[in-house]
Chain A
Amino acid sequence: MRTAIKLAYRNLIGAGLRTWLNVIVLSFSFVVIIWMKGILVGWDHQAKNDMIRWEIGGGQYWHKAYDPFDQFTLAEAHAALPAAFQTEIENGNLVPVLIAQGTIYPEGRMQSILIKGIDPGQNLLALPTQKLDTTPDAIPAIIGENMARTNKLKIGDRTTLRWRDAHGTFDASEICITAIFSTNVPTVDVAQVWIPLENMRSMLLMPGEATLLTIRNPETIRSGPGDWKLMTVNDLVADLEAMIKTKSVGQSIFYTILLLLALLAVFDTQVLSIFRRQKEIGTYVALGYTQREVVWLFTIEGAMHAVLAAVLAAAYGLPFLIWQARTGWKLPIETGDYGFAIAQTLYPVYSAGLVISTTLIVMLATAVVSYWPSRRIAKMNPTEALRGKLQ
């Protein structure tokens, strides 16, 4: 084995440019696969972290009728908070949110929105709700940058807000934008206006009610009482994970094509080698190798492309990957309209598992495409091979 590795190494290095071309292409595969997977892992981490900070905390209790994908459920998705929650709410460990449909009229245009009522004193979520305590002559409201941009709203702007109360009666009042926050989580930003919870309850005639409650500490999670159902963090990020998985499949296709191109180059080299190096194969047999050992030698030689590629990839790829992890990858298009949690700049995250699994996959694939054509050597007639006669 050691002899075969030594010989394979000498043969590869001796082959010069042909070897290095294959190695360079293969090293691209290493770096691109690790980088792309790192981006996805980084996005996954960032998106979950942002969702936890801005929206879902350590989990949520939802009113049993609440369906975030069906706004018509909002008319029913509210109830008085059970006594069991009161202490936790007072301690700030549960943050109730009341949600209703509404309409605003910025610059005279009608815009359907969700009105979300939240306690201005909460500190569980990153929303700047303390700014909801500031305006005496209108309902104070905070909105996200995306909402502000699409509706041309800025701090201090006033606009009319219309809603229907618990009895179905339309009512309206003026809101004043007291803060605009920047977030990567569109589900707290796009088409949403946050106002103080008590204002909202009195506007809707729903005293003491909420649509959902956000939990601070996931370790205190227990089944929700009565009309309230528990949604764990895993439940709440399931859609995001499914979407990242879909993206991951799309990216896999890209780097599989790249890897296949690199493997094709190795395969091609192996096939050519077996035709061009028949005399050499015969010589190995004459000097004491069995044909199976020559197959093994050629397989190691092919697979060693991946070893050299890993070394080369480490040489130029490591600085690149480290630089990317520090500076991130700025997406070339605006991400605010994507509809899912994604930052404008993604920071790749590389784990030892990612690097090891990528290296193993590339090495195994290279070994397979090296072995495949090399099997032909076992069927060669060594006396014909010695004369370099094509077989």
Chain B
Amino acid sequence: MEHPPIIQIEHLTKSFPMGKASFTALTGISLNFGKGEFAGFIGPSGSGKTTLLNIIGSLDVPTSGEVLVLGNSIGGLTARQAARLRKENLGFIFQSYNLLAVHTVFENVEFPLLLLNYAASERRRMVMDALEWVGLTDKIKSKPPQLSGGECQRVAIARAMVKKPSLVLADEPTANLDAANSHNILQTMVKLNRELNTTFLFATHDDKVIGYLRRKVYLLDGKIDKDEVFPN
């Protein structure tokens, strides 16, 4: 592998209780991802791609196996340690944007920096840089309900990227967007991946997204079906 590994997954299994029985969403997953990868988990609904993304994002824990993200064992983190990992190193992009509706574009993008206690002047500079990357500097005072879907997702990307995280996790980021907006968003992410060397991990079944991925991990019924790497 040409990249140093920042995610190491060994024999990961994840089960959810369902009444007295349990449902196994992931079985025996073993994967490594290196710095700067632009990769995705591909599969139909119920294949376990979002569950895998959530575990990597320390929002969930493995039932068995080991998941190391930037050297942190996800299963062994306390709530505070997991929150710190997310706060300092991870960026999230969601299908339905998950922007804070009563906050302006500027405030939404500023949010991760507030948690990291950056000074106001530094925050302003970083937010404006992030909005520059996604082409939304003219919308800083708008609120999410006043934006289009594409603009909302670009705000979400700016929010995920503003602190220059090591890893960005994007769960179906184009599911609510039309083709033109999807390509626009994806090109922005490719550009950020190349310029900042940020690792992007997607969960998707959208062909438009799949077309941009340089590594495609196909999941089927919670297991790896195929792992393909494409040259840049």
Which residues of A line the B interface, CB within 8 A? 3, 6-7, 10-11, 13-15, 279-280, 282-283, 285-293, 382-383, 386, 388
A288 near B87 (CB under 8 angstroms)? yes
A286 near B107 (CB under 8 angstroms)? no
Whose C-beta in chain B lies nearest to the C-beta of A15?
B102
Which residues of B lie under 8 Å from residue A282 when comparing CB positions? Answer: 98
Whose C-beta in chain A lies nearest to the C-beta of B143?
A14
Query: Is residue B27 contacting chain A, with contact meaning CB distance below 8 A?
Result: no
Query: Is residue B57 contacting chain A, with contact meaning CB distance below 8 A?
Result: yes
- Expressed in whole angstroms, the Cα–Cα distance for A13 and B86 within the complex equals 27
B103 near A383 (CB under 8 angstroms)? no
> Which segment, of B77-85, B189-197, B199-207, faces chain A?
B77-85
Which residues of B lie under 8 Å from residue A3 when comparing CB positions? Answer: 114-115, 117
Whose C-beta in chain A lies nearest to the C-beta of B169?
A286
Chain B's nearest CB lies how many Å from the CB of A281?
A: 10
Query: Is residue B59 contacting chain A, with contact meaning CB distance below 8 A?
Result: yes
With A14-B102, A288-B86 already in contact, the answer to whether A6 and B114 are too (CB < 8 A) is: yes
A285 near B102 (CB under 8 angstroms)? no
> Which segment, of B88-96, B173-181, B217-225, faces chain A?
B88-96
B80 near A290 (CB under 8 angstroms)? yes
Query: Is residue B129 contacting chain A, with contact meaning CB distance below 8 A?
Result: no
A283 near B103 (CB under 8 angstroms)? no
Q: How many residues of B are counted as interface, with CB atoms below 8 angstroms from the partner's CB atoms?
A: 30
Query: Is residue B229 contacting chain A, with contact meaning CB distance below 8 A?
Result: no
B114 near A289 (CB under 8 angstroms)? no
Which residues of A lie under 8 Å from residue B92 when comparing CB positions? Answer: 286-287
B107 near A10 (CB under 8 angstroms)? yes
With A10-B107, A386-B94 already in contact, the answer to whether A286 and B112 are too (CB < 8 A) is: no
5 residue pairs of the A-B complex, CB under 8 angstroms, read A3-B115, A7-B114, A289-B115, A293-B83, A386-B59
| Extra pairs beyond A15-B102, A279-B98, A293-B83 (16, CB < 8 Å) | A7-B111, A10-B107, A11-B100, A11-B102, A14-B102, A283-B99, A283-B100, A285-B83, A287-B87, A287-B111, A288-B84, A288-B88, A290-B80, A383-B54, A386-B59, A388-B96
A286 near B103 (CB under 8 angstroms)? no
B79 near A290 (CB under 8 angstroms)? yes
B117 near A286 (CB under 8 angstroms)? no
Which residues of B line the A interface, CB within 8 A? 54, 57, 59-60, 79-80, 82-84, 86-88, 92, 94, 96, 98-103, 107, 111-112, 114-117, 143, 159
A280 near B100 (CB under 8 angstroms)? yes
Whose C-beta in chain B lies nearest to the C-beta of A289?
B83
Which residues of B lie under 8 Å from residue A11 when comparing CB positions? Answer: 100, 102-103
Give the secondary structure class of A's interface.
helix
- Expressed in whole angstroms, the Cα–Cα distance for A290 and B77 within the complex equals 12
Whose C-beta in chain B lies nearest to the C-beta of A378?
B79
Whose C-beta in chain B lies nearest to the C-beta of A286?
B92
Chain B's nearest CB lies how many Å from the CB of A301?
A: 11
With A10-B102, A14-B102, A293-B83 already in contact, the answer to whether A286 and B96 are too (CB < 8 A) is: no
Which residues of A lie under 8 Å from residue B101 when comparing CB positions? Answer: 14, 280
B54 near A287 (CB under 8 angstroms)? no
A287 near B112 (CB under 8 angstroms)? yes
Which residues of B lie under 8 Å from residue A7 when comparing CB positions? Answer: 111, 114
With A288-B115, A383-B54 already in contact, the answer to whether A283 and B98 are too (CB < 8 A) is: yes
Chain A's nearest CB lies how many Å from the CB of B100?
A: 6
B103 near A14 (CB under 8 angstroms)? yes
- Expressed in whole angstroms, the Cα–Cα distance for A289 and B80 within the complex equals 8
Which residues of B lie under 8 Å from residue A293 when comparing CB positions? Answer: 83
B98 near A286 (CB under 8 angstroms)? yes
